[in-house]
Structure 1
Amino acid sequence: MNTKKIISIVSVVLISGLMIYGMILLKQIFSANTKFPEQEVYVYVPTDSKYEDVKKILSPYVENLERFELVASKRGYIENVIPGRFLLTKGMSSYDLVKTLRLNSPVKLAFNNQERIENLAGRVGSQIEADSLVLLNTFKDSVFLQENGFNEENILAMFIPNTYEIYWNTPAEKFRDKMIKEYRNFWNEERTAKAKAQGLTPVEATILASIVHKESVKKDERPRIAGVYLNRLKLEMPLQADPTVIFAMKKKANDFNQVIKRVFYNDLTMSHPYNTYMNIGLPPGPIAMPDITALEAVLNPEKNDFIYFCASVDRFGYHEFAATLPEHNVNAKKYSDWINNQGVKR
């Protein structure tokens, strides 16, 4: 056999071997490499994670980590780990997995009806990487508060309840900065002017809206309740809002888990900044996070002559309104008799 034939045979063997190796390699790269039964799962890669950390995170979801590692090495992922939340779908190949781990998926972060800034920090902390305590300290940062016209009592007013698209690994400060931008976007010239027409700043409007929110779950009734409270403010009479007394009781006891269904006369005489029976004007801060309908009710109140209202016994969830004290006393007695018959103690 001459040299040319030998070279030709060796070449064919090498090419065949390379083709077989290439086919095996392609199969390793592009064949399915997941082992979770669901159609999709999210994995979370914390900030400052190394490649070894990622392998541990992926181990419950990847069938063959060696095949994944081969692609990760070839694609330069090992030296360039990206933190965040990533969506894996069933049947992904190693190539798909590495590609996906470079595509940080945003979180739809939602919050509403939070009673205190501490509750809000916990709610946000359950949805993004930042710890709730870090978030709380960031919200209460004295420099930030002073620069933006807030204090620790009213900072909850900065947060507009909504659903926001944000990356899971967004740092606490960046999240806070996004919220102040959302606050400024919400309090545009039109809304600020409407608040001013009621004699209120945006923060004061939010505080009043928090009371309106707590007074009624009936959104169609909130503009009327807002009108009553604005009437009282103009007359410089106490707001006499039971929800503020309940908030004061919880705050004084440092127990916001207790459920208070009824306020008694002795509660109304409690000395506390949030007791609007004993203090004229608005309390120092919101007693909850008002939703948008409560805010809009304060900005667009019903024009009425009502000064008083109490819960209705005929229309559950609604209230009876009165322009005079004698009228109100009739409504109040009717409600008091009804609640006594229900046996509600506290």
Structure 2
Amino acid sequence: MPDKKKTSRAPLVIAGTTIKAGTREVVDLPLSMMSDHTPATLSIQAIHGKQDGPTVFVSAAIHGDEILGVEIVRRLIRAPALRRISGTVLLVPIVNMFGFISHSRYLPDRRDLNRSFPGSPTGSLAARLAHLFMEEVVERSEYGIDLHTAAINRVNLPQIRIDMRDKRAHKLADAFSPPVIVDSALREGSLRHAAGDKGVPVMVFEAGEGLRFDETAIRVGVKGVLNVLRHLGMTGRHHSVPPLEKPLPPSSIATKSAWIRATEGGIARIHCKVGQFVKSGSLIGVISDPFGIRDTEMFAQRDGLVIGRSNLPIVNQGDALVHIAAIPKAAAEGADLDTIEEAFDGDPLFDEDEIL
């Protein structure tokens, strides 16, 4: 049997930069020149292990205002578990650098990057960025984890979204161990769809809200990614992921979910929070006119778990207000935010040095 310590792994070459086995490097991939002559690049931290193993990418800020994933990647870069790995991890903290700088979901041309994949080398700015990401990141990888938050003025319960028909993605979602796993159809133009066409299963982590940090959601994300890498055999016993002192129940599975939408415009007062179980027919909010003359009550249309909600009281008819996943009450108990926060409180993975 060969001595693993003497195993020599070929270097990784990205855009002319050579990353030797057992090292890490930040690689800046040229994308375009901005209007003020500032170069725009797609920046990747490549961690290339000494031993063979899978290649996994972790990306954030495909929507530029969804910044929670940027902090998750920052903490992953500092995590002891990634100091010595098998395989390769490609960490991309900011995919949409244009939206990130301007605090916007979109690119300067108002295109949604997550509707622009697989892109084109000669298309719009969004198409070119999507093409570069596919060519330099996705096509080098065997698995992907894409970090998102709710859109601005909304908040999401920490959850993983996958196509349940993809057995490989389902196994990774189980390993991640989020409070909820949601069966989510693939959308044309999305990273998940384009990567799937290349045979690369990608799962989406959704948690928190746009332009905000949420410590509990960040911890769920960091722990989940490390759980996946451990499941794939990329992190060894020398840096195991410590278990929670108060383990959470297994992830709840949601095969159906739906938004309750405003039946009219006005001022909304929503009476439920993410992570709360609601019963069919229960009052979840009231929409009033500004004069207080008319109140319209809104009721849950099914039993289920609130996995997303709007934080904006000003609503128009048709606005999405409360996202309810069809999950039985017993299966939803571990998704309560207070329970999740308590489980992660005191976790040795998140000591002060790593947070700071």
TM-score by length of 2: 0.24
Give the greater-gyration-radius structure (CA).
1
Which protein is richer in helix relative to its size?
Answer: 1
